[in-house]
Structure formats: C-alpha cells, structure tokens
Chain A
Amino acid sequence: MLSLLNSELFRLVKRPMPWIMLLILAIGVALLYGALWAVLETASNANDADGLSGNLRIGATTGLGLGLVSTLATILVIIIASSMIGAEYGWGTIRTLLPRASGRMPLAIAKLVTIGLFVTILVAFGYLVSLAMSALVTSAAGLNDDLGDGFVVHSLASVGRVIYTTVPYAALSFMVALWSRSNAAGISVGLAIYLLEDLVLAIIGLAGDAVDWLPDLLLSDNVSAILALNNVEEAGFGGVNPAGGPDPWQAAGTLALWTALFLAIALVIFHRRDVTNE
C-alpha cells in the first residue's frame, strides 16, 4: 500500500493540474481581498465600511477568506478526485498500473488517501493565503488586528470543517468517474450536484411542506450547517448552527453516511469489474 501511495504522490507532484489548482486558489483569494479592499477605500457609507472592515480584518479570516476557499476547494477537489481515477481509464494507464499494484483495494485506497492529502493541502494553503492577504489589508487599512481568544483553535477547527465538507463531493465524483470510466462524467455530476442542489431543492420546496425533511438528508444543507460555525469565532470544534437548520453533529453524521455510501459503491465496482480496453 505504501509503495502505491508513493507512486500516486509522485505522479500528483509531477502533474501540472494540482499546481494550477493551487495557483487558481491563491489568485481567487488575492482577488477577493484586493477587490474588497478597493471597495473599502472608496466606500462613502460608514455602515458599509464598518461591515467590510469587520470581514477583512485578520481575526475574521475563517469567515470571509475560508468561505471563498471552501467554494473553490470543493470545485477543484471534484475535478482532481474525478481525474485521479477517470484519467487512468482515459489514458489506458489503469492497465499499466494495475499489474504493478499489490491489489485493487490497495490501489483504490492509495488514490483516496492521495485525494485526502491534496484536499488538506489545498484548504490549508488557501487559508494561509487568506491569512496573508487579510494581514496585508489589515495592516494597510489600519483595521483591528486583534485575533481574539482561541484564534488558533478556531482556525484549525474551521479548516477541518472545510476539508470535511469537501469529502462527500470528492467521493461522489470519484465514484461516478470510476463507474463511467470517464473523467468528464465524474466532474459533471459532481459539479452539477454541488452547484444545483440548492436550486433543485428550492423548486421542490415549492410543492409545500411535505418534503421539508428532504434537505436534511442531502448534502447542501448539511454542508452549510457545518460551515456556518466558521463564522462563530468562539465555536472551536463544536457549537450550534447560528443559521438554524440541521445540528452540526447530525449534519456531520449525514455527510459521513453519504461519503461511506459513495466510497463503498466505488470500491465494489473497482473490485469486481473487468479492466478491458473499452
């Protein structure tokens, strides 16, 4: 298993895609802070300026910066998770790699661990860039630089929450790419669910209260319930969802069940299906 993980990490590091993703994330965060700083500098309304100052200060990075990181990271993770297995089929390298693997399960697990490591690096990197940009703006604009109590713990918990909420989407796109043997299919389905679930649920919600329970069983509301804690600076590793909706621990359990289901389906398919030149 370790040799396969070593090979996966080697290929990940040598591949341009992850580096481009890190660059996209850094540019996205820099643009966000740059744009909001520019708005702050030109704001004529004192209330708007106060609101912006509150969000741009370094102590609020888990809200503003990490909020953007969460959105971008989920999209990028959907792409990389799908590509990790879909591209193997597209290039035909699965037939080259599998005979070198100690088994199918170890290979699948090595890929999943690699995706997990990449997600962690991506989100942590995005947060560090956010902190750097926030520190720059805080210093340049003379904003409140008080980090508050428990900033480090809250930062770690917030980064952890963002990582955790990307995992079901990574598992979903991995499963679809594996099932369809197609990178594009994994990305399409992953992005469609990530971007359209709220819209579809809103339309279904028009049908009345009969399906009120449905969002609690799906991904989007549960992700929101967990990420909402990032805006509560004293939340640490626990807390109550300030926006209402599912309890964060219940949400975490629901996401874990979805992740387990997606991965179980993916592993069963990978274990049982013939690898031909189709």
Chain B
Amino acid sequence: MKNGQRPGAGEVVLKTVGLTKRFDKIVAVDGLDVEVRAGEVLGFLGPNGSGKSTTVGMILSLIRPTSGHVELFGQDLTKRRDVIRRRVGAIIETPAFYPYLSGRDNLRALAKAAGGVSDSRIEELLSMVSLTERAGGKFKTYSLGMKQRLGIASTLLTDPALVILDEPTNGLDPAGQREVRGIIPRLATEGRAVLLASHLLNEVEQVCDRVIIIRRGKMVEQGTVGDLLSRGGHLDIEISADEVETALRTLRAVPGVEKVMADETGRRLTVLAETEGRIINKALAERGIYAAAIVPRRGTLEQIFLDLTEGSTPGEQTVDGKAERRQGREG
C-alpha cells in the first residue's frame, strides 16, 4: 500500500501485538492485542486510568512500549515512523494548539510540519467543522467546543487512512455533539479506520461498529456492538407477589436461564437468559403462574461496560442506564 492511498475495505490498518507498557511498577497496558480495519469505527472503552491514552500514545510513538509492538498498514512502526505523519490523524485527550496563533494558522503550522497540505484543504476542513467565521480568531479565545472542532479538523489535514479520536465530543453542546457523531461514521464510510476512545457510551453505541473494553490495561471484552448488546439483554416479568418463590424456583430450572432476580416489591422478576420469552411464559403457565407482562429489554453498552469494569451485576443497572439499584433477592 503506497503512501497516500486508502486501504481496501476490511484491510487491517492498525494492529497492536502484545502491547505492554510499565511505568516503574505500574502496568498501564498489559499485552494488548487490537486490530482496526479500514471502513470501521472501533470504540475503545475503559474507565479513567485503564490505559486508553497510554495505548494511543504508543500507537503515535509518543510513548515507547515496554514490550510488544504496533503495526500500521502492515509495517512495524519502529521501522516506518514516518507513516504516522502522513497517514494517521489523531486528537490526544484535550486538543492542544498554539494559543498565540489563530485556528487557521494552527492548521497551517501543522500542515507545514506534515508537508503537502494545500491551503484549500485547510479551508475545506474549517468549513467542515463550522469554524470558517472564527478561523482568524486566536486559539486562546476559543471555547472548548471550538477547540474540539479545530482538533477534529487537524486530524484530517493529511487525509489520513487512520483517525484516532480521544473524547472528540468533550465540551461540545448537544448540537455540536450530534454534528461530530455525524462526521465519525462518514469518515469510516470514506474508507478510513477510526479508533474512538470515549467515555460517552451512548456515543459509542451510536457510531461504533465494534467495541473493545479494557480494564487495568487488559482487554476484557470485544465484539460488535450488536453482539455485546444482545449479551446484555434480559426479560422483565410482572407477577403476583405471592407467586414469587414458586416463580423463582421454576425459572431457575428452565434451560438457558442464567440468573433470576426479584425486586423489593416482589412483583417484578428480572431474568437473564438466552431463552425466548415464550418458553419462560410456558414454564410459568405450567406451574399455574400467569405473568401480567413479559417485556424483553435490550442491553446497553453502559450496563455491559459497568459490569466489566466495576464488577457490578447486570441487575444493579437499569436498562436505561440510570444507576438505580435493585435491592432484591437473587435467585
């Protein structure tokens, strides 16, 4: 693949192999294997201090791995350092620019450093992020949202094949967030690979094709968003309070049921199961229990994320993601 060309759809653009970073005794990243392919948006999730920024730092050669390596476009990064300059665009945490320069001049300065970027490309990007009118203003006078938008424009200066965005909607108002969320999938549609590190799980759910969740530097889950959400689904069942004990015993015996919980009112059961609702209904009916409602609930990424990174159980999180604890008995 020559410099400047877009990789073919599905081609592995970024690969980390056993990537590890130790800071003295602290293991920030521990044997991380990640692949990002052209045309996909990969969500990179993890709580604060989980190693996301350190991983991005290693991908961009800002941080030296203790062991393992990074491959960009099939080439070992240590041997082709210049690949980053032309083919990778990144915002690392809060976008940092020269405060005494205007937004436009900041892009010009970076364009000159990278080489081969025209003024018309800069204007095109300023327009794309709705900064044309304020492009002549000093960066230090920009709002956080404007800084974020300038950061996004800077990532695209060299028309990169890999875009790394770390919290790109941080500080944006809802309209700005929606705008950026519209841009991200478009980048992938144009054939780029996008690595999106974000705390906004709703955002990741909306724009990512695949998700990787890391905790303490280790990957704890990965898969397509659809797969992860299907794993986090459950059934809510409403029954009479005096039938709870029987229902719990019955449901625990149904094949495919992983966990059954009752809330404190005793009228609602939450069932984690791969079994369909009609089989649950049949099992209850055979014991003379007729549910008032059986409602399948889709899982959320937030629920799965918290399960994996905080050790909470799915039942401790409501389906709409609010931290409302069910203090019920677990069956």
Does B62 lie within 8 Å of A93, measured CB to CB?
no
Is B143 part of the contact surface with A, judged by Cβ < 8 Å? no
Interface residue from A93, A99, A101 paired with B97 (Cβ < 8 Å): A93
Contact of B94 among A92, A97, A100, A101 (CB under 8 A): A92
Least CB separation from A15: chain B residue? B100
Q: Is B136 an interface residue when CB atoms closer than 8 A count as contact?
A: no
Determine if A148 is an interface residue (Cβ-Cβ < 8 Å).
no
- Residue interface mask A57-95, B partner, CB < 8 A = 1: 000000000000000000000000000000000011101
**Segment at the interface with B among A45-53, A217-225, A270-278:** A270-278
Contact in complex: A103, B82 (CB < 8 Å): yes
A275 to B112, CA, bound (A): 22
What CA separation (Å) do A14 and B99 show in the bound complex?
A: 11
Binds B, one of A2-10, A112-120, A136-144: A2-10
* A interface secondary structure, majority: helix
Given contacts A10-B108, A11-B101, A15-B100, contact A98 B60 (CB under 8 A): yes
A6-B112 contact given A98-B62, A274-B62, A275-B63, CB 8 Å threshold: yes
One of A15, A97, A103, A276 near B57 (C-beta < 8 A): A276
B96 touches A95 (CB 8 A): yes
Residues from chain B with a CB closer than 8 A to the CB of A96 are 92, 95-97, 110, 154
In the complex, what's the smallest C-beta–C-beta distance from B52 to chain A, in angstroms?
12
B53 at the interface (CB under 8 A from A): yes
Q: Considering only CB atoms, which chain B residue lies closest to A96 in the complex?
A: B96
Contact of B60 among A6, A91, A99, A103 (CB under 8 A): A99
- Report the Cα distance A276→B52, complex, angstroms: 12
Q: Contact string, B65-99, partner A, CB cutoff 8 A, digits 1/0?
A: 00000000000000001101100101011111111
Within 8 Å by CB of A3, from B61, B92, B98, B112, lies: B112
Across the interface, do A102 and B81 meet the contact criterion of CB distance under 8 Å? yes
Q: Write out the residue numbers on chain B whose beta carbons fall within 8 Å of the beta carbon of A92.
A: 94, 96
Bound-state CA distance A16–B99 (Å) is 11
**Would you call A14 and B113 a contact (CB within 8 A)?**
no
Tell me the nearest residue of chain A to B53, going by C-beta. A277
Whether A99 and B62, one on each chain, are in contact in the complex, defined by CB atoms closer than 8 angstroms, is yes
In the complex, the answer to whether B61 meets A99 with C-beta atoms within 8 Å is yes
Is B81 a contact of A97 with CB atoms below 8 Å?
Answer: no
- Point out the residues of chain A lying under 8 angstroms from B254, CB to CB: none
Task: Say how far A55's CB is from chain B's closest CB, in angstroms.
Answer: 39
Contact at A274–B105, with CB atoms within 8 Å?
no
Query: What A residues does B60 contact at CB under 8 A?
Result: 98-99
Query: What is the CB-to-nearest-CB distance from A215 to chain B, in angstroms, rounded to a whole number?
Result: 40
Q: B101 and A14: CB pair below 8 A? A: yes
Question: Which chain B residues (104-163) contact chain A, with CB distance < 8 Å?
Answer: 105, 108-110, 112-115, 154
Q: Which residues of B contact A102 (CB under 8 A)?
A: 81-82, 85
**Residue in contact with A276 in the complex, picked from B62, B96, B115, CB distance below 8 Å:** B62
Indicate if the CB atoms of A101 and B85 lie closer than 8 Å: yes
Chain B residues lying within 8 Å of A3, measured Cβ to Cβ, are 112-115
Which residues of B are found within 8 Å of A7, using beta-carbon distances?
109-110, 112-113
Contact of B113 among A15, A95, A97, A276 (CB under 8 A): A97
Q: Within A1-36, which residues are at the interface with B (CB < 8 Å)?
A: 3-4, 6-7, 10-11, 14-16
Contacting residues, chain B, for A97 (C-beta < 8 A)? 110, 113
**A96-B95, A96-B96, A101-B85 known; A274 and B63 CB under 8 Å?**
yes
Chain A nearest Cβ from B85, distance in angstroms:
6
Chain B residues lying within 8 Å of A6, measured Cβ to Cβ, are 112-113
Q: Mark B35-66, 1 if CB is under 8 A from A, else 0.
A: 00000000000000000011001001111100
Question: Which single residue of chain A is at the shortest CB-CB distance from B112?
Answer: A7
Distance (Å) between the CB of A136 and the closest chain B CB? 34
Task: Among B57, B98, B114, point to the contact of A100 (Cβ < 8 A).
Answer: B114
Residues from chain A with Cβ under 8 Å of B93 in the complex: 95, 277
A77 and B97 CA atoms in complex are apart in Å by 24
Bound CA–CA A93/B93 (angstroms):
12
Nearest-CB distance from B124 to chain A (Å)? 18
Cβ-closest chain B residue relative to A11:
B109
Chain A residues near B (Cβ < 8 Å): 3-4, 6-7, 10-11, 14-16, 91-93, 95-103, 272, 274-277
Contact sample, A vs B, 5 pairs, CB 8 Å cutoff: A3-B112, A6-B112, A15-B100, A99-B60, A99-B85
Q: State the 3 A-B residue pairs at the shortest beta-carbon distance, nearest first.
A: A92-B96, A3-B115, A7-B113
A7-B109, A98-B62, A100-B110 given; 17 more Cβ-contact pairs under 8 Å: A3-B114, A3-B115, A6-B113, A11-B98, A14-B105, A91-B96, A92-B94, A93-B97, A95-B92, A96-B154, A97-B113, A99-B90, A272-B64, A274-B57, A275-B62, A277-B53, A277-B92
